[in-house]
Amino acid sequence: MTDDPSKPFQPLQAVTRGAFIHAFNAMWSISESASPSSFKDVENSPYRKDIQAAVESGLLQGTGEGLFNPDRPIRREESAAIVFRLLAGSGIRVPDSTAVLALGTSKWAVDAVSSAVIWKLHGPEVTESNGMFDYGSQRALKKQELAALLFTMILPD
């Protein structure tokens, strides 16, 4: 969760796209890649090898025009999509898009976010009112939310 264990955790700090991939790969033992990067903007990123490994694993797509934007905070729906690709794509969990979502989730992310809600892969920041779930899809993922996501991913069903 931090590159320097002597530094504070800072739970409310936003997680960058590169840092998310680094933590995600570490959790799932996805080894760094030795291949050249698929994205033009990650050559100087400390997470370049992790990002390329996630691309090769089929977990990641860029932001268009050959870019990944590793230093931009990752949106909650983007993190849900990566988790969804791993869990549903590998058969670890069955996709479930039955959760009714509040407005704000991008069309391409609905199945992933709905499944994340049904699978309970979140902390108390996801709220439910009258059967509708607010995942906060467009918000930046915070470190404390990443910790909750990774923790709930390893719990048995």
| Tens of pLDDT, residues 52-111 | 999 999 999 888 889 999 999 999 999 999 999 999 988 889 999 999 999 999 999 999
Q: Which of 73, 88, 114 is the last residue of a domain?
A: 73
Summary mean pLDDT of the chain: 92
- Answer whether residue 33 is part of any domain: yes
User: What pLDDT was estimated at residue 1?
Assistant: 61
Question: How distant is the alpha carbon of residue 138 from its chain centre?
Answer: 13
Q: What does pTM read for this prediction?
A: 0.91
Q: Which of 73, 89, 118 is the last residue of a domain?
A: 73
3-state secondary structure of 128: strand
HSE-up (13 A, CA, CB side) for residue 90 = 11
| Beta strand segments in 65-116, E | 100-101
Q: How many domains does the chain have?
A: 2
- Quick: pLDDT tens for 58-72: 999 888 889 999 999
Q: DSSP assignment, residue 108?
A: G
Residues 82 and 33 in one domain: no
Beta bridge partners of 64: 67
Q: Which of 30, 50, 73 is the last residue of a domain?
A: 73
